[in-house]
Structure 1
Amino acid sequence: MKTLSLLAATAMAASAPAAFAQQAPVPAIESGHTMLTVTAQGSSTREPDMANYSAGVTTQGTTASEALAANSAQMSRVIAALKKAGIADKDVQTSNLSVNPVYAQPKRLPDGNYEDGPQKIVGYQTNNTVSVRQRKLGDMGKVIDALVSAGANQVNGPNFQLSGPEAAMDEARVEAMKSARARADLYAKASGLRVARIVSISESGGYSPQPVMYMRKAAMDVAAAPPVAAGELEMNVNVTVQFELAP
């Protein structure tokens, strides 16, 4: 049995399908036939139809309970603003809640070193963050503006997504297989052979989103809703296909 390799694809012997642990055993390759392994990629693009981002409140107080109480009041207004903006309860989820001490800066000595000894707690900081799923992308700018106006001083994201990516992934799969077959035909013809059959197929791939990052702090001007550009999402699928070539 002869073997050909293509680019990053690796030549494999007749027993090679055992490397694909999830695949059924492959019938033996006929004597005089050649194995060819091809790796190809397919892609498709879609405009995202939803996004995830986070919104949070950070507060400080002289005691832990004071910092937590202030945070709870402010975060309640933020969540109320989300609901008023049309975000459903199921699309808001707490992702982080923490209360941490704030330490005084160590005193600097005349020799340039810092005073040694235990750190002194001068207050407490509370962080509360929720993850938000935005289903109406056209409303995102005004929702973020409403959040900041209500007291959110941490807004991070968005991460754009598709609510149903399978159709786009299937397009990418078809393109990847067409590309793999075209390369196999080319190499077979160049070698004076023909493609007899496909022996095995394995796949890997997923989203390759074009990222858009938005951050806004409470200290910034919140007079106007921020513009948010959704762009496109690209779905990529890589396939590794084994072909049997015959004279």
Structure 2
Amino acid sequence: MSLSTLNHSRVAARPLKRHGALGRAIGLGLAGALATLTLATPALADKTPRQIQVQANATIDVAPDQATLNARLWERTPAQVQGEETSGNSDAIKEARDRLETRTGELIRTLENAGVDSKQIRAGSLSVRPDYMQTASRGEDSAPPKVRTQVERSVSLTLNELDRLPRVLDALTAAGVDSLDGVSYGLQDSNAADDRALEQALERARQKARMMAKTLDVDLGDVVNIQETTAPRYQPQMMMRAAEADSSGSSAEYRSGEISIDAGVSVIWEIDD
């Protein structure tokens, strides 16, 4: 190898040494940055929000101002031995249906005469079904099973004046309804009652939060989250209490009781520093 060639090799090798030193410096810098980031992470994790979370419930009792009644009327064809129905059965069904429609019309007119608004009366559609009759067996001589056809209609009505209830019940009895499913009491404006229950639940939550903050010697900040845990709801009450008429001939009394409405909330406040 000549001298010029050897000198050229030494000169070309110097940048490689500088590059190696630069790489080591960059590597040490990155390692230091990562170490700093790792040390800072626990400090950031310790800064959790300072909050107070409160759950509260409220129940209000409301007197109902609406009553719903459900009655049913039905007619039946003569019983026949099952499996041996005659061709005249269709005529018997038509006759039963005609009697039913007549009775339904009379019932609706009776209710209107009792002061019920015609818009509050709902007559259901016609229902036809077989009615299987149980026959008693005497030893080995058991009577063959019999069946008849029952045609039925439902009539429901809503009263917004509860003082009319006794008169309406008397009218239903006089009309000879075959079934009366009692009285269901409810509210004309259930949303207003729901709002009252929810307001009381929120007020209770605020009272609890203030008491907790005072006891722990902290200050409440802004509300950061509100959630319903129990949506306001109520079930119409099925209550009817009839008092026997006394010697003066006073009518029976019907008491609706009260409707309970529950509401629940969960509220989160910040704690001021």
Normalising by structure 2, we get a TM-score of 0.65
For the structure 1 residues 155 and 246, does the alpha-carbon distance in structure 2 shift closer, same or farther, using more than 3 Å as the test?
same
Are 1:38 and 2:54 counterparts? Answer: yes
Q: Which position in structure 2 is the counterpart of 1:171? A: 196
Question: How far does residue 123 in structure 1 lie from its aligned partner after superposition?
Answer: 1.4
Question: How far does residue 57 in structure 1 lie from its aligned partner after superposition?
Answer: 1.0
> Any conservation in 1 of the 2:74–2:100 contact (CA below 8 Å)?
yes
Q: Which position in structure 1 is the counterpart of 2:72? A: 56
Question: How far does residue 177 in structure 1 lie from its aligned partner after superposition?
Answer: 1.0
| Pairing partner for 1:205 from 232, 236, 240 | 232
Question: How far does residue 186 in structure 1 lie from its aligned partner after superposition?
Answer: 2.6
> Any conservation in 2 of the 1:144–1:226 contact (CA below 8 Å)?
no
Larger Rg: 2
Map 1:115-194 onto structure 2 (within 5 A).
Answer: 121-194=146-219
Are 1:73 and 2:107 counterparts? Answer: no
Letter in 2 for 1:46: V
Letter in 1 for 2:69: Y
| Pairing partner for 1:93 from 97, 115, 122 | 122
Normalising by structure 1, we get a TM-score of 0.71
Q: Distance in 2 between matches of 1:211 and 1:243?
A: 41
Q: Distance in 1 between matches of 2:270 and 2:124?
A: 51
- The structure whose residues are more often helix, as a share, is 2
- The C-alpha deviation readout for 1:56-87, integer Å capped at 9, x for no partner, is 21221223223322222222211111111111
Q: Which position in structure 2 is the counterpart of 1:105? A: 134
Question: How far does residue 214 in structure 1 lie from its aligned partner after superposition?
Answer: 7.3
Q: Distance in 2 between matches of 1:129 and 1:197?
A: 55
Q: Which position in structure 2 is the counterpart of 1:195? A: 220
Q: Distance in 2 between matches of 1:173 and 1:91?
A: 30
> Any conservation in 1 of the 2:224–2:269 contact (CA below 8 Å)?
yes
Q: Distance in 1 between matches of 2:146 and 2:170?
A: 35
**What stretches of structure 2 of length at least 5 have no aligned partner?**
1-45, 79-91, 243-248
SS at match of 1:37: strand
SS at match of 1:229: coil
Could you say what the CA RMSD is over the residues aligned between the two structures, in angstroms? 3.1
